Amino acid sequence: MNLDLKNRKIILGVTGSIAAYKAPELARLLIKSGADVQAVITEAACNFVTPLTLETLTGHKVVYKMFNSTTDPLEHINLAKNADLLLIAPASADFIARAAAGRASDLLSAITLAYAGTVAFAPAMNTNMLNNRATQKNIKILTDEYGWNIIEPASGELACGITDKGRMESPETIVQSVTNFFNRDLEGHKIVITAGPTVEDIDPVRFISNRSSGKTGYAIARNAALRGARVVLISGPTALIPPENITVINVRSALEMRQAVLEESDDAHLVVMSAAVADFRHETIETKKIKKETQNDSLEIKLVKNPDILLEIGEKYKKSKSPVIFGFALETDNLLTNGKAKLEKKLADMIIANSAKDALEKETTKVIFIHKDGRVNETDEIPKQSLAKLILDEYLSINPLSV
């Protein structure tokens, strides 16, 4: 029997969606994989599944009332303290909204607020509710701002009679995702990731930068941390909130980024250069604002080339096996040819090539992996979170025994 979840304490939060009828099956499969499951259900969920069913399956008293004189008044704090994962399945639109807003209006949302570990949501709702801008915004808050996980709903027949996206993923697939959360296959690996744009100041007010959002680099950092790696994220200015449990070095210019990369790379096992480093900077940063009154009809500024950080570390470590070095190529044309040329020139172990139109400022991307050994693999259009996982899987296939 597969006991991947042995010794894992999971709080299974069940909310008021019709898919709650699948929660007992999910609890059963989690237990079968070795987990200790404590179910917490909302009052709305009691309409679809009885506490007694979950209690019988899990062997633990099921809690659902916030104010109940017979229960521990600090139940929400104590439950939150001891769990390895808080899994909300099914997650209704309303519960997702409560969690995104940081509400504590019922026991399960209070537990979610008090919980410091990994939270995963398996949404289940009607397609229109799922596609509604409010729900999409709330899901984005849960993932991008709080660093929590969404087990994407599947397409299929919904309770309302239509066939579309919104159905809770099958209990088997949810158990698989949960197992992946605990897969700490990068434990012991130090991974340095650059992300975002660099900002090259011209004077105290103006700068040159680019449209990189930093989403890919932050997604790699999040996936690596989840898998147990020691992560150093060297980030240019972005609007993103970094994941928990990593070291973040905030930088502004390419020169600052170079310094941080050189300081962190010696003992790294993998360096992923996903930042969009500005190729040029202003020759001298003016200490005072350049006044338009002092200029004629045009302003000339002299730009000088920034150091190529990827090339520099490629050369520095070309004779040693570690760190493995991955670079990116963001191109508008001839993706494959330019990517291959970049791989050779910069002495990287792999180049991840993507086109500006597929990648910039988007949640998804489509890339070509170009390996040093000549292999070339193309992905479909995938979420940047999924790309992050693929990149780290590629690294492990090159370097499984380095630690």
In the set 16, 153, 314, 327, which binds ligand C5P (CB under 6 A)?
Answer: 327
Q: How far apart are CA 166 and CA 124, in angstroms?
A: 5
Q: How far apart are CA 224 and CA 391, in angstroms?
A: 10
Q: Which is nearer to ligand C5P, 79 or 254 (CB)?
A: 254
Q: Scanning residues 169 to 198, which ones bind ligand C5P (CB under 6 A)?
A: 194
270 contributes a contact to ligand C5P by CB under 6 A: no
Q: What dihedral angle (degrees, nearest 10) is formed by the CA atoms of 130, 131, 135, 138?
A: 110
Catalytic positions, please? 160
Q: Which is nearer to ligand C5P, 5 or 254 (CB)?
A: 254
Q: Which region among 6-14, 171-179, 315-323, 327-335 touches ligand C5P (by CB under 6 A)? A: 327-335
Q: Scanning residues 299 to 318, which ones bind ligand C5P (CB under 6 A)?
A: 306, 308-310
Q: Which is nearer to ligand C5P, 100 or 352 (CB)?
A: 352
Q: How far apart are CA 322 and CA 325, in angstroms?
A: 8
Q: How many residues bind ligand C5P (CB under 6 A)?
A: 14
Q: Scanning residues 116 to 175, which ones bind ligand C5P (CB under 6 A)?
A: none
Phi and psi at residue 401, to the nearest 5°: -110, 20
Tokens of 367: 């890339």
- Is 226 in contact with 148 (CB distance < 8 Å)? no
String of DSSP letters for 101-123: HT--SSHHHHHHHH--SEEEEEE
In the set 41, 277, 324, 368, which binds ligand C5P (CB under 6 A)?
Answer: 277
Containing 12, the helix (H) or strand (E) segment is: strand 9-14
Q: Give me the amino acid identity at 189.
A: H
CB of 314 to ligand C5P, least distance (A): 9
279 contributes a contact to ligand C5P by CB under 6 A: yes
CA-wise closest residue to 182 among 216, 134, 224, 227: 227
CB of 298 to ligand C5P, least distance (A): 27
Output the 3-class SS for 290-332.
CCHHHCCCCCCCCEEECCCHHHHHHHHCCCCCCCEEEEEEEEC
Q: Which is nearer to ligand C5P, 107 or 254 (CB)?
A: 254
Q: Scanning residues 28 to 87, which ones bind ligand C5P (CB under 6 A)?
A: none
In the set 251, 273, 353, 368, which binds ligand C5P (CB under 6 A)?
Answer: 273
Q: Which region among 28-36, 162-170, 239-247, 325-333 touches ligand C5P (by CB under 6 A)? A: 325-333
235 contributes a contact to ligand C5P by CB under 6 A: no
Q: How far apart are CA 96 and CA 85, in angstroms?
A: 17
Q: Which spans of this chain sit near ligand C5P (rule: CB under 6 A)?
A: 194, 254, 273, 275, 277, 279, 306, 308-310, 327-329, 342
